Each structure stands twice: as C-alpha cells, then as structure tokens.
C-alpha cells in the first residue's frame, strides 16, 4: 500500500468527516458509508479532494463503492489512476 | 377492525417462513430467520426485566437487527423509540433522553459513530444478539391495549425542533391497512428501502411490506447513486420509494433515467412536493411503473392521501384525496370548509392520527384540534375534492407584500435540466420584507452558474418571485429523513449575505462551504 497516499487520505477523512477525532477512523477495509463516516455530500467532497490533491479526474462511472468506500479501496484506486496517468503521459 | 392481534404478530402474520423477508447486504433473511432474530432479541430484552410500557431506543442504519429489535420491543409490550442514526452523537443522546429510553438496541456501527456520548446513559443491547443471542422467546399473552403507545416517532424537523410523536398500536395498524388497501402489495413484491425506518415514510414501508409478506431490500446509503440503481436491477425490485431529493439525485446524478428496470411496477413518492418536471422525468424514465404521489405526516403515523396514478395528468400537481379511513378537509381560518378554489389549511381525521406529542401539552393542543390534525399545509380543493398543496405554512416567503410559495420558485429553477435540486428560503430584507435566496445543486458535468439560473428565473417568474440570490452548492443540507433542512439553509443565508451585484464566494452555507458561489442581483 502506498503509505503517502494512505496518510493523505486518512488525514482528509479525519479532518473533514470526523472533525479531528482519529479514534473513529474505521479500519482500512471497512466501509465508510456503513460506518456513517461519509454520506452523499461526503462523496462529493471526497471527489473534489481526490481531484485537487492527486491531480486525477474521477469519472462518473468510477464513482462506485469499489473505488471510494474504504481507505484501502481509495489507496488502490488513486494508485491505479496515477500509474495510468504516468504510463499514458 | 374487530379483534386486534398484538402489533408484532400483526406485522409478521402473513410472511411465509421460507420467503425472503429482508435482504441486508449479501445476507438474505427469510421470515423464519426474522422470527428467530426477533425471538432472540425479545429473549435478551425480557431478561432485563423492564416494567411493561418501557421505552426502548433503536439505533442504527436499516438492518435485519433493526427490524428484529423493533418487533421484539412491540412484542414485549414496550414502546419502540427509533433514534436518528445519521445525527450527531449529541443529538442521539438528547433524543434518547427526551424519550426516557431505559435501554437502547444499538447497532455497533452506529455506536462507533456515537463515540463516548452514550456512556452513563441507557443500557445497551447490541446487534450480535441476532446471531449469538439466547434461545428465542415469543411470549403468548394478552396484546397491549390498542390505545397504548407502540412507537415514539421523532418529527423530521425541517423547520422546527424535533418532537416525539406518540403512535399507538391502533394508529400503526390502521395506517398499514389503509395503505395496503390502495397499494395492493403482494407477497411477491420487493421494495428497495432507502428511507430510514426511523422516519415515518420508511417505517410505513416496513409495516406494509411485512404485513403483505413481501420482501425488503435494504440500501442504507445514497452516497453512490449508480449503486442504488444497480441494486434495483440486480434484486429485481418491484417497488421503490423516495422523497423528492431521492428522485432528483437518482435521475440526474444516477442512472435511473436511462436504465431499463422491467420489474419495477410501483414507485412511491412522498415527503414533500415532487416538482412537475421530476414527475415527468420519472414517468418517461420508467413508463412501465405506476407512480403514486402521496402525502402524509408523522403525526398521522405516515400516510394521509394519495393520487391514483391514472389521475396524474388530469389532476396534475394534486396530492389526491384522503386514503381509505382518512377524512381530509381544507378549512378556512374561520374553521368552515373552503369552497373550491379557495385557500385554507388541511385538517385530517382518522384512526391513524396520533393522540399527541410526548410531554408537550402546548404543542399538542395547537396541532391536535377539535377539527382533527392541523397539518400546517395550505391548500386548495377542486370541484372533485382533489387537494392541491400550495406550500407549507412555514415555507411561504413574504416578498414585496406577496406571499410567495417557495415550491413555485424551486419548480421554475428545476426546469433547467442542469440542476439537480433547488431550495428557496426567505431572508430578512429591508426593502422586500423577505428576499428570496435560492440554493441549487447541479449535475456533476454541468458548468451552469448562479447567474444563469438567476437569468432563467428572471425570464420565467414575476418580479416579486425572482430570487435575490442564487447560490450553487455541492449539496443541500438534509434532515435525517432526506428532506431539505430549510432552517439550516436560512441560517446559512443570513450568515453569508452575498455582496449584491457581483458573483462572490459565499461561506458557511452547507457542509461543503468551499464550493458555494453566489450570484446576486442589484
């Protein structure tokens, strides 16, 4: 797992969704929506964060829980997108 | 109704043991499984030796545990108190304390979110009871008095502070019967339940589908609109129910408009006026499905009226007439029923109308009157008795001496296909009395601006109805039941009055203030 990406994501979730309470961050594999950490507004904020922080574009078809609903999924998704960008560049 | 069974047995009566009752993620629970889960929860609850009629909170997203706990509480003659699950931990604690909950049946997912807020409060019974609980018990015994409280439901509080509404066993069963009489649900129906069961509309879906022996497919988040539509398709759902924001989201940010869903035969819309354009989009998207536009209130258990789908065209914009067993009357301020075309307030009578609020005689006296339940909704009636809601009494904006319906302003803006949602509120203004502040969300791919929306409204609305400002936001603040939280919008609009004449960033409007961009008129 890309630790820099994970840290950036965890920091964002703790800061924006949990108001700084790191103890409520679910495990890396756990669903953020099930845990009540992220709602539909949160997903939009998350996408904005991914696009500005990592310079990727999140397509509508990629807005699915398999990519965005846990820390582990997010790290995988962001790393995959950046690798894709690097090879296509 | 003659002999009334206890409400838990009334709800579970029709389910065939081998039929699936609840689909909860990957798990499929039959009616036999549900009875077992409810029996285990009842057993664990009975061991706490609470006096009859104790109030028991239920906390968590919709789940088989939630349903089992609800049934167990009712079976033991206690009072179920569904607690808001997406609220702040402090709000949950306040609600539990307000209702005097001795015990809370809590989903561990929700407990994590509540942190330490529930420490030192009510005793907790967690969701592991359904899998690892004691031997089930389902005591025989006289059912509770039909006039006794079955459930305390919190009102959604779009405009005011939440109150607990007392719903009796008679209320709950009467409303369930009425809804089934016109929706005609069958054991082979499958509803995708996205509305939380702690909200009266969600609870009504739970009651009616259990009673019909049908299936509830749970979906606890609208965060991924595409996934919701996938689930409708994959589970072969025959029914779907939502509040206006649900449909706006799924049509314009999801794939409900383009995905063929041949199984879907019944769509229920309530919880606020569904704008005409959304009605049209929904019917065009899923022409095989019957659309039931309905109207109700927590104080009436859930449902008060419906518009038969075959009247959608000739009675466009109407909430229909009273459901079976409910008498709806629109009354002039003097108390007499209005004549066709005249405006008044909707009153309702029926066995589904609550006896009142918990521990609040003042509010109860104001709302539950000699004419029945005073809904707070202003309406007109046509010659055939069809009711047309003009607006919530609280949602009128007094602009330039006119009473402007916020719904009319919102409906105009939503004719722009780029917009997903719109909400208009009044903010104090020295010249106009109240100025109209409009908040909109747009389609993810759209670049429409507040100025564009403002120009559109200016072309299509009379001068006194044109918003003073239009603010594009990422999302509208919603109440726990998915309705737009207008009180919060109003407060946000006051905190960030835009500089007139210039598009300027606005702050503090919603949970995502960074993206709010306001266009103002000079």
Look over chain A and give the mean of its residue pLDDT values, rounded to a whole number: 87
Q: Assign 3-state DSSP to chain B and report helix, strand, coil percentages, each to 5.
A: 30, 25, 40
Average pLDDT over residues B476-493: 81
As a whole number of angstroms, the distance between CA B473 and CA B247 comes to 18
Other CB atoms within a 10 A radius of the CB of residue B517 amount to: 17
Nearest CA-CA partner of B476 in A40, A38, A35? A40
> Is B113–A37 a contact, with Cβ atoms under 8 angstroms apart?
yes
Search chain B and give the residue with CA nearest A65: B224
> Is A44–B512 a contact, with Cβ atoms under 8 angstroms apart?
yes
Answer yes or no: is B431 within a domain. yes
Q: According to the per-residue pLDDT averaged within each range, which of B276-280, B299-303, B481-485, B515-519 is highest?
A: B299-303
pLDDT at position B4:
67
Share of chain B above pLDDT 90, in %: 65
Task: Identify whether the C-beta of residue B201 lies closer than 8 Å to the C-beta of residue B271.
Answer: yes
Search chain B and give the residue with CA nearest A46: B512
Counting the structural domains of chain B, the total is 2
Q: Between B397 and B137, where is the model more confident? A: B137
Average pLDDT over residues B69-78: 97
**Predicted confidence band of residue B505 (pLDDT cuts 50, 70, 90):** very low
Which burial class, exposed, middle or buried, applies to B186 when counting CB atoms under 10 A from its CB (0-12, 13-18, 19+)? exposed
Nearest CA-CA partner of B437 in B456, B415, B454, B420? B454
From A23, A41, A69, residue closest to B511, measured CB to CB: A41
Q: Could you report how far apart the first and last alpha carbons of chain B are, in Å?
A: 62
> Of B144, B169, B190, which residue constitutes the final position of a domain?
B144
pLDDT at position B225:
87
pLDDT at position B2:
47
**Lowest mean pLDDT, pick from B135-149, B334-348, B451-465, B502-516:** B502-516
From A23, A26, A41, residue closest to B512, measured CB to CB: A41
CATH code at position B425: 3.30.300.30
Search chain A and give the residue with CA nearest B514: A45
Average pLDDT over residues B196-200: 94
Answer yes or no: is B413 within a domain. yes
From A34, A36, A65, residue closest to B224, measured CB to CB: A65
As a whole number of angstroms, the distance between CA B425 and CA B159 comes to 11
Q: Between B439 and A37, where is the model more confident? A: B439
As a whole number of angstroms, the distance between CA B437 and CA B415 comes to 18
Q: Which residues of A touch B444 (CB under 8 A)?
A: 60
pLDDT at position A6:
95
pLDDT at position A86:
61
Answer yes or no: is B329 within a domain. no
Stated as kind and residue range, the H or E segment containing B442 is strand B433-442
Answer yes or no: is B176 within a domain. no
Answer yes or no: is B292 within a domain. no
pLDDT at position B504:
34
CA atoms within 13 A on the CB side of B366: 6
As a whole number of angstroms, the distance between CA B345 and CA A49 comes to 47
Nearest CA-CA partner of B73 in B8, B10, B9? B8
As a whole number of angstroms, the distance between CA B225 and CA B223 comes to 6
Average pLDDT over residues B315-323: 96
As a whole number of angstroms, the distance between CA B275 and CA B69 comes to 37
* Min distance B405 CA to chain A CA atoms (Å): 27
Answer yes or no: is B123 within a domain. yes
Share of chain B above pLDDT 70, in %: 92
**Lowest mean pLDDT, pick from A80-84, B126-130, B262-266:** A80-84
As a whole number of angstroms, the distance between CA B15 and CA B159 comes to 39
Answer yes or no: is B218 within a domain. no
Using an 8 Å CB-CB cutoff, list residues of chain B that contact chain A. 61, 85-86, 109-110, 112-113, 115, 220-227, 249, 444-445, 474-475, 510-512, 514-515
* B351-403: pLDDT as tens digits: 999 999 999 999 999 999 999 999 999 999 999 999 999 877 777 787 777 77
pLDDT at position B515:
40
Average pLDDT over residues B473-497: 79
Q: Quick check: B130 pLDDT over 70?
A: yes
Task: Identify whether the C-beta of residue B343 lies closer than 8 Å to the C-beta of residue B379.
Answer: yes
> Is B475–A21 a contact, with Cβ atoms under 8 angstroms apart?
no
Q: Which residues of B touch A35 (CB under 8 A)?
A: 109, 112-113
**Predicted confidence band of residue B283 (pLDDT cuts 50, 70, 90):** very high
> Of B126, B144, B162, which residue constitutes the final position of a domain?
B144
Average pLDDT over residues B453-462: 90
As a whole number of angstroms, the distance between CA B125 and CA B41 comes to 9
> Of B120, B144, B168, which residue constitutes the final position of a domain?
B144
From A35, A43, A63, residue closest to B112, measured CB to CB: A35
* A14-55: pLDDT as tens digits: 998 887 888 888 899 998 988 778 877 788 889 989 999 999
> Is A24–B112 a contact, with Cβ atoms under 8 angstroms apart?
yes
As a whole number of angstroms, the distance between CA B304 and CA B318 comes to 13
Task: Identify whether the C-beta of residue B59 lies closer than 8 Å to the C-beta of residue B51.
Answer: no
CA atoms within 13 A on the CB side of B113: 26
As a whole number of angstroms, the distance between CA A75 and CA A9 comes to 8
Search chain A and give the residue with CA nearest B109: A35
pLDDT at position B497:
53
DSSP state of B72: H
Q: Could you report how far apart the first and last alpha carbons of chain A are, in Å?
A: 23
As a whole number of angstroms, the distance between CA B275 and CA B375 comes to 20
**Predicted confidence band of residue B496 (pLDDT cuts 50, 70, 90):** low
pLDDT at position B221:
83
Q: Is B396 left (phi over 0), alpha (psi -120 to 50) or beta?
A: beta
> Is A39–B221 a contact, with Cβ atoms under 8 angstroms apart?
yes
* Min distance A83 CA to chain B CA atoms (Å): 25
Report the residue of A41, A58, A59 to disrupt the B interface, i.e. the one with the largest count of B CBs within 10 Å.
Answer: A41
Q: Which residues of A touch B226 (CB under 8 A)?
A: 60-61, 63-64
> Is B86–A64 a contact, with Cβ atoms under 8 angstroms apart?
no
The interaxial angle of helices A3-12 and A40-54, nearest 10 deg, is 140
Q: Which residues of B touch A38 (CB under 8 A)?
A: 223
Residue burial A47-58, b: 16+ Cβ < 10 Å; e: rest? beebeeebebeb
CATH code at position B62: 3.40.50.980
From A35, A45, A63, residue closest to B224, measured CB to CB: A63
pLDDT at position B351:
98
Question: What number of C-beta contacts closer than 8 Å exist between A and B?
Answer: 71
Q: Quick check: B514 pLDDT over 50?
A: no
Residue B434: give the domain boundaries. Answer: 396-496
> Is B85–A36 a contact, with Cβ atoms under 8 angstroms apart?
yes
Task: Identify whether the C-beta of residue B202 lies closer than 8 Å to the C-beta of residue B228.
Answer: no
pLDDT at position B3:
58
pLDDT at position B226:
86
From B110, B444, B515, residue closest to A60, measured CB to CB: B444
Helices (H), B85-140: 89-98, 108-114, 129-132
The interaxial angle of helices B406-413 and B450-460, nearest 10 deg, is 110
Q: Which residues of B touch A48 (CB under 8 A)?
A: 474, 512, 514-515
Using an 8 Å CB-CB cutoff, list residues of chain A that contact chain B. 21, 23-24, 26, 33-45, 48, 60-61, 63-65, 68-69
Q: Which residues of B touch A63 (CB under 8 A)?
A: 224-226
Look over chain B and give the mean of its residue pLDDT values, rounded to a whole number: 88
pLDDT at position B518:
62
pLDDT at position B1:
44
Q: Which residues of A touch B227 (CB under 8 A)?
A: 64-65
Stated as kind and residue range, the H or E segment containing B296 is strand B290-296
Average pLDDT over residues B433-462: 90
Q: Is the pTM of this model over 0.90?
A: no
Answer yes or no: is B262 within a domain. no
Stated as kind and residue range, the H or E segment containing B75 is helix B64-75
* Min distance B476 CA to chain A CA atoms (Å): 8
Average pLDDT over residues B197-223: 95
Task: Identify whether the C-beta of residue B144 lies closer than 8 Å to the C-beta of residue B473.
Answer: no
Average pLDDT over residues B155-184: 87
As a whole number of angstroms, the distance between CA B504 and CA B443 comes to 21
**Predicted confidence band of residue B517 (pLDDT cuts 50, 70, 90):** low
CA atoms within 13 A on the CB side of B442: 18
Task: Identify whether the C-beta of residue B222 lies closer than 8 Å to the C-beta of residue B249.
Answer: yes
The Cα angle at residue A10 between residues B484 and A21, in degrees rounded to 5: 70
- DSSP one-letter string for B176-212: HHHHHHHH---TT-EEEE-S-TTSHHHHHHHHHHHHT
């Amino acid at each position: 797992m890309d630790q820099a990406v994970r840290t950036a994501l965890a920091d964002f979730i703790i800061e924006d969704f949990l108001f700084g309470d790191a103890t409520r961050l679910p495990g890396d594999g756990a669903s953020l929506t099930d845990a009540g950490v992220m709602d539909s507004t949160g997903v939009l904020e998350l996408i904005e964060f991914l696009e500005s922080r990592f310079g990727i574009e999140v397509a509508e078809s990629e807005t699915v829980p398999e990519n965005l609903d846990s820390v582990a999924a997010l790290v995988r998704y962001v790393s995959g997108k950046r690798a894709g960008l690097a090879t296509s560049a | 109704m003659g002999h009334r069974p206890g409400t838990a047995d009334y709800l579970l009566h029709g389910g065939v043991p081998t039929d699936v009752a609840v689909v909860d993620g990957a798990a499929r629970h039959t009616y036999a499984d549900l009875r077992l889960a409810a029996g285990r929860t009842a057993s664990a609850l009975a061991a706490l030796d609470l006096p009859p009629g104790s109030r028991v909170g239920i906390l968590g997203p919709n789940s088989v545990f939630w349903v089992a706990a609800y049934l167990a509480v009712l079976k033991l003659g206690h009072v179920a108190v569904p607690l808001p699950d997406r609220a702040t931990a402090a709000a949950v604690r306040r609600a539990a304390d307000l209702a005097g909950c001795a015990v809370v049946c809590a989903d561990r997912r929700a407990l994590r979110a509540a942190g330490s807020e529930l420490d030192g409060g009510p005793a907790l019974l967690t969701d592991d009871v359904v899998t690892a609980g004691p031997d089930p018990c389902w005591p025989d015994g006289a059912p509770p008095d039909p006039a006794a409280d079955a459930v305390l439901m919190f009102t959604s509080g779009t405009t005011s502070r939440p109150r607990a509404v007392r719903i009796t066993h008679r209320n709950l069963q009467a409303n369930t019967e009425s809804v089934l009489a016109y929706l005609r649900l069958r054991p082979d129906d499958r509803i995708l339940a996205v509305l939380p069961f702690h909200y009266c509309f969600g609870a009504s879906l739970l009651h009616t589908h259990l009673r019909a022996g049908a299936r509830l497919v749970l979906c606890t988040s609208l965060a991924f609109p595409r996934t919701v539509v996938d689930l409708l398709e994959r589970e072969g759902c025959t029914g779907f129910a939502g509040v206006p924001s649900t449909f706006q989201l799924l049509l314009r940010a999801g794939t409900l408009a383009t995905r063929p869903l041949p199984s879907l035969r019944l769509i229920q819309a309530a919880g606020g006026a569904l704008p005409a354009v959304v009605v049209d989009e929904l019917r065009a998207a899923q022409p095989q499905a019957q659309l039931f536009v309905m109207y109700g209130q927590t104080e009436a258990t859930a449902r008060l009226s419906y518009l038969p789908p075959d009247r959608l065209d000739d009675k466009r914009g109407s909430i229909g007439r009273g459901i079976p067993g409910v008498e709806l009357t629109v009354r002039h301020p003097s108390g007499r029923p209005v004549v066709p075309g005249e405006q008044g307030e909707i009153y309702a009578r029926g066995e589904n109308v609550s006896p009142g609020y918990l521990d609040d005689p003042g509010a109860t006296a104001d709302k539950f009157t000699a004419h029945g339940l005073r809904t707070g909704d202003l309406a007109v009636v046509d010659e055939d008795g069809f009711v047309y809601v003009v607006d919530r009494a609280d949602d009128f904006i007094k602009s330039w001496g006119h009473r402007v319906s916020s719904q009319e302003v919102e409906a105009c803006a939503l004719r722009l296909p780029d917009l997903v949602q719109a909400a208009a509120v009044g903010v104090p203004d020295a010249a106009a009395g109240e100025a109209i502040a409009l908040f909109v969300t747009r389609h993810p791919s759209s670049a429409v601006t507040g100025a564009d929306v403002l120009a559109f409204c200016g072309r299509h609305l009379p001068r006194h109805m044109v918003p003073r400002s239009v603010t594009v936001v990422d999302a509208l603040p919603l109440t726990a039941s998915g309705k737009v939280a207008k009180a919060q919008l109003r407060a946000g609009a006051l905190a960030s009055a835009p500089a007139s004449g210039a598009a300027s960033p606005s702050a503090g409007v919603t949970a995502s203030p960074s993206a709010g961009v306001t266009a103002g008129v000079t």
